[in-house]
A and B are shown apart, each in its own frame.
Chain A
Amino acid sequence: MSKLSQKFKNMTDTSLLLTITILVFFLMYIGAIVFQGKGFLKPQTFFNILNENAALIILSCGMSTVMIAGGIDISVGGVTALISMCCAVYLDFKGGNVLVSMLIAIGIGLAYGLVQGFLVAYLDIQPFIVSLAGMFFARGMTTIVNTNPFNVQNESFVALKNTRIIVPGLGSVNKKGIYVDAYVEIGVIIALLVVLIMFCILRWTKLGRSFYAVGGNKQSALMLGINVKRTKFMSHIICSLLAGIGGYVYFLHVGSGAATHAQGAEMNAIASSIIGGTMLTGGVGNIIGTFFGVLSLRTIQNIVASAGLDQAWWTGITIAAMLCLFLVIQSVVMARKKMSVKK
């Protein structure tokens, strides 16, 4: 036991918070299986969580990156809505092809990253204010592009949207006794790839390590010879670029354009990152944690829904309660660490 507590003490902040997150997720999922019945035992339930949240996973990865570098970006939800609307209008009204719509999505993301990154890094404006304005700009632009929500009819897009990748061996028998294959959508594959790539970048590349350095302590990062401004700039570029990809994945999932799309997605992304152990103050965080953060957030929502508390307000209150809990845990953990360092 003492060995375990010793190990606990020697952990870095990142891995300590990561452990808490993963533990919480598994406890919650096991709890759901025990108390809510067999629905959660089906692999498809788990895959559905992934299908619905592929976009959120990608957005959260970007959010974590920018948070690790000490910033924040609350424009991602707005960017998602803007991308869905622009792509929808392009595909349906202009009869465009799917590949170009992807380029549009990435282009919008990149443009956002360039502007916001420049304002934050080189003009030294608070990231929150910049991205708040970015969020409102995106939401406003979405209605300027097109006011009414509509479904995309473009054939090649619909075909892509309905593509399902079957996961072998994990299907289940439905009520009529027919065997149904478990499936995931294309977005999930992209999301998992993004998680993998971002994990590698943050772990093993010079750029990734400098994110941690800049977020942890700007002064010492500067002393180490890191280009602080460029690093901040890059963190915003990555975040907005992922918002572009995430926005397209979201579009691929819902298949429509509307100004109200992805409402509150930025809050969910921040909440997932925080639950996943990314510190708001920067310098601490892990993409794997973020991945589990998204899953935890959604699992608890599923639990709430299946417990019969399906009125709309319970979702908001549970997310907020969870966010609050994890923020307090972070703050307490950090205060304790500081105390033990002082001793």
Chain B
Amino acid sequence: MSKIYKNQIFIPMTALLILLLFNLIADPSFFKITMGLNSAGNPVLSGYLMTVLDNGSELAILAIGMTLVTAASGGQDISVGAAIAIAGSTLLRVLCGTNTRPDTLRTPIFVAFLISCLVAMAFGAFNGVLVAIFKIQPMVATLILYTAGRSIAAWINNNELPIISDPKFSYYGGFIPGIPIPTPVFIAAAMVILITLVLKFTNLGLYTQAVGINESSSRLNGLNPVFIKWLTFVILGLCVAVAALIKVSRLSSINYSVIAKDIEMDAILAVALGGNALSGGKFNMAASVIGAFVIQLLTTTLFKFNVPSDALPAYKAVVVIMLVVFSAPVVRDRMSVLFKKLSAESRKEAA
């Protein structure tokens, strides 16, 4: 029993079960998945659970990068939302050129995606330089891009909102004809498999944890902490570009001030919910990914109960506070002391 309790996946799993149980009691139709036809006439699966999987994909992808950044630098990147705006804007700019209503795409989608990856990784690298070389706290260093990001995104496209009519572009955020499961789920799964392979076959995981736990001793052991911290930010940049592709593809357009709004909060929350220490060090990737879907489940549940989207942050904030209070070391110590006392007393009574 104590083994399960100590396992990191225990925390997000418990949250997941509690939320699912709540939904089961409140309204069992939450679990209904139906096969229907979407507007393009393709057979698609729909239902609240599919919405969670679909919309949680970007969050899961971001959580991967955020976990690495958190582990290595002991801080979080709060510019991911703004960076998604930049990457999405670049993507559209490359696809459309200066024409805002193109009939045909100027470049293949793959090429445009690669370019937006490069741009997002460059911005990640910028954050990384500030954090790793200039030793600025990650949250404050990324504050720069947080303030400027959406402005830069608007500037890239001259503040115009290109709309892509090519149906192929909408596959990434919607459905591929003939496949009833939304594409973002596959993209997220691919990213998760990729990062699992990378963590399994390279030393990336070990090195990031070493740097996060103790920077100077990792340097004395021959690691290069500056490079590793920088690398995690570049990887987060890649995750941002993938998330941006999905986000932009969903709309076939972009709205600079609204796209991926407040997603940084959700991404950080996913990492925290995964039981990872926000002060860096050890991490568990699977727990973070599950955490991301739990957050999305929470959002969908709140939406289902007609909570307006503007009021959503208030509820989430309460969840965050409860979460951090219960995972705070001080509280945990107190609780375990209390539990010991209680069990000792009950043993006494039994005796």
Identify the stretch in A20-28, A31-39, A318-326 within 8 Å (CB) of chain B at 4 or more residues: A318-326
Identify the stretch in A90-98, A101-109, A130-138, A231-239 within 8 Å (CB) of chain B at 4 or more residues: A130-138
- Which residues of B are found within 8 Å of A204, using beta-carbon distances? none
- Which residues of A are found within 8 Å of B75, using beta-carbon distances? 128
> How distant is the Cα of A311 from the Cα of B156 in the complex, in angstroms?
13
> How distant is the Cα of A323 from the Cα of B144 in the complex, in angstroms?
7
Contact B265 A320 (CB under 8 A): no
Number of interface residues of A (CB under 8 A): 46
Contact B144 A264 (CB under 8 A): no
Residues 99-140 (chain A) with a chain B CB within 8 angstroms: 119, 122-126, 128-130, 132-137, 139-140
Contact B134 A331 (CB under 8 A): yes
Contact B328 A139 (CB under 8 A): no
A84 to chain B, nearest CB (A): 15
- Is B155 close to A, CB under 8 A? yes
Number of interface residues of B (CB under 8 A): 46
**Which one, B143, B154, B278, contacts A267 given CB within 8 A?**
B143
**Which one, B155, B311, B328, contacts A143 given CB within 8 A?**
B311
**Which one, A129, A143, A316, A331, contacts B147 given CB within 8 A?**
A316
> How distant is the Cα of A126 from the Cα of B137 in the complex, in angstroms?
13
- Which residues of A are found within 8 Å of B310, using beta-carbon distances? 139-140, 143, 147, 259
- Which residues of A are found within 8 Å of B317, using beta-carbon distances? 133-137, 140
B299-326 vs A: 1/0 string, CB under 8 Å?
0000000001011111111101100110
**Which one, A122, A137, A331, contacts B313 given CB within 8 A?**
A137
- Is A8 close to B, CB under 8 A? no
Contact B143 A126 (CB under 8 A): no
Contact B324 A324 (CB under 8 A): no
**Which one, A132, A274, A312, contacts B151 given CB within 8 A?**
A312
Residues A126 and B279 in contact in the complex (CB < 8 Å), given A132-B268, A313-B151, A328-B134 = yes
Residues 254-271 (chain A) with a chain B CB within 8 angstroms: 259, 264, 267, 270-271
> Which of B140, B150, B152 is the most central at the interface, judged by chain A CB atoms within 10 Å of its CB?
B140
Contact B148 A129 (CB under 8 A): no
- 10 CB < 8 A contacts A-B: A123-B330, A129-B272, A140-B314, A267-B147, A270-B143, A280-B140, A311-B155, A316-B148, A320-B145, A331-B135
Q: Which 4 A-B pairs have the closest CB atoms?
A: A140-B314, A320-B148, A316-B151, A313-B151
